[in-house]
């Protein structure tokens, strides 16, 4: 593609841009990709996790419950009626 090609490939425009800028290029473009519209969810605990922590099973249970809740929220989005449609 550097010397020229048919120009009908799916990523030809990206390769063309890369080869045009390769002398002054530093790093990868995807390293500077914008984040999402919201920060990822996380579960917080009152105490730091240590290797001797006795409540690991409680922590794991809480993390799995949060995961299940978020998955259920996603499933409920599909089930929710669309605005303006008859119920």
The number of domains in the chain is 1
Q: What is the pTM of this model?
A: 0.42
**Is 62 part of a structural domain of the chain?**
yes
> Percentage of residues in the chain with pLDDT exceeding 90?
6
* pLDDT range class, residue 20, cuts 50, 70, 90: confident
The whole-angstrom separation of Cα 54 and Cα 58 is 9
Tell me the per-residue pLDDT of 32-74, one tens digit each, with 9 for 90 and over. Answer: 655 667 666 777 777 777 777 787 888 889 889 999 998 999 8
Q: Provide the domain limits for residue 43.
A: 12-27+39-79
Decide if 1 contacts 12 (C-beta within 8 A).
yes
**Is 22 part of a structural domain of the chain?**
yes
The predicted structure's pLDDT at residue 72: 92
Helix (H) or strand (E) holding 63: helix 56-79
């Amino acid at each position: 593609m550097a010397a020229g090609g048919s120009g009908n490939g799916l990523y030809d425009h990206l390769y063309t841009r890369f080869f045009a800028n390769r002398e002054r290029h530093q790093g990868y473009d995807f390293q500077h990709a914008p984040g999402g519209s919201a920060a990822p969810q996380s579960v917080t605990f009152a105490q730091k996790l240590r290797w001797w922590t006795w409540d690991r099973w409680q922590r794991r249970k809480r993390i799995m419950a949060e995961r299940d809740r978020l998955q259920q929220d996603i499933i409920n989005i599909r089930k929710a009626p669309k605005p303006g449609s008859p119920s």
